[in-house]
Amino acid sequence: MSDVILKVSHLKKYFRTGAGLLHAVDDVSFSVPGGSTIGVVGESGCGKSTLGRTVLRLNEPTDGSVLFEGQELIGASKKTLAKIRPQMQMIFQDPYASLNGRMTVQQLIAEPLIVNRVCRNRREIDQKVSEIMEVVGLSERLTYAYPHELDGGRRQRIGVARALVLDPKFIVCDEPVSALDVSIQAQILNLLMDLQEERNLTYMFITHDLSVVRHISSRIMVMYLGKCVEEADADRLFENPAHPYTQALLAAIPIPSVSSQHVHRTLLQGEVTSPVNPAPGCRFAQRCKYACEACRKEDIPLKEIEPGHFCACVREG
Partner 1 sequence: MNNELLQVKNLSVQYKTDLETVYAVNDVSFSICEGETLGLVGETGAGKTTTALGIMGLLPKRTAHITGGSISYKGRELTELSKKELLGVRGKQISMIFQDPMTALNPVLTVGDQIGETLRLHNTENLSGEAIEKKVDEMLEMVGIPPERKKEYPYQFSGGMRQRVVIAIALICDPSLLIADEPTTALDVTIQAQILSMICDLQRKYGTAVIMITHDMGVVAETCDKVAIMYAGQIVEYGELKDIFTGDDHHPYTIGLFGSIPSLTKKYRRLTPIEGLMPDPTTLPAGCCFAERCSHCQEICRREKPQPVVSGSHMIRCHAADAHLAAASDFFEKDLSRG
Task: Note whether 77 binds partner 1 by CB under 8 A.
Answer: no
Of the ranges 22-30, 99-107, 138-146, 261-269, which one interacts with partner 1 (CB under 8 A)? 261-269
Using the rule CB under 8 A, give the single segment among 26-34, 76-84, 101-109, 267-275 that binds partner 1: 267-275
Contact segment (CB under 8 A) with partner 1 among 8-16, 120-128, 141-149, 268-276 equals 268-276
215 lies in the site for partner 1, by CB under 8 A: yes
Interface with partner 1, residue 151, by CB under 8 A:
yes
Residues 105-124 that bind partner 1 (CB under 8 A): none
Distances (CA, A) of 217 to 114, 192, 195, 223, 236: 32, 11, 14, 15, 12
Count of positions on this chain that bind partner 1 (CB under 8 A): 42
Nearer to partner 1, 33 or 137 (CB): 137
260 in contact with partner 1 (CB under 8 A): yes
Of residues 214, 236, 303, 315, which one binds partner 1 by CB under 8 A? 214
Site mask, partner 1, residues 166-205, x = CB under 8 A? ---------------xxxxxxx-xx--x------------
- C-alpha to C-alpha distance for 141 and 164, rounded to whole angstroms: 20
Does 131 interact with partner 1 (rule: CB under 8 A)?
Answer: no
Q: Which of 3, 257, 289, 293 binds partner 1 (CB under 8 A)?
A: 257
CB count within 10 Å of CB 149 equals 12
**233 is a site residue for partner 1 (CB under 8 A):** no
**Smallest distance, Å, CB 261 to partner 1?**
6
Q: Which of 6, 11, 210, 311 is close enough to bind partner 1 by CB under 8 A?
A: 210
Nearby residues of 32 by Cβ (< 8 Å), 6 or more positions away: 4, 5, 6, 7, 38, 170, 202, 204, 219
Taking CB under 8 A as the rule, does residue 291 contact partner 1? no
Nearest to 269 by CA among 285, 281, 255: 285
Q: Is residue 289 involved in binding partner 1 (CB under 8 A)?
A: no
Which 41-60 positions form the footprint of partner 1 (CB under 8 A)?
43-44
Note whether 97 binds partner 1 by CB under 8 A: no
Interface positions with partner 1 (CB under 8 A): 43-44, 151-153, 181-187, 189-190, 193, 208, 210-212, 214-216, 235, 238, 248-249, 251-258, 260-261, 265, 267-269, 271-272
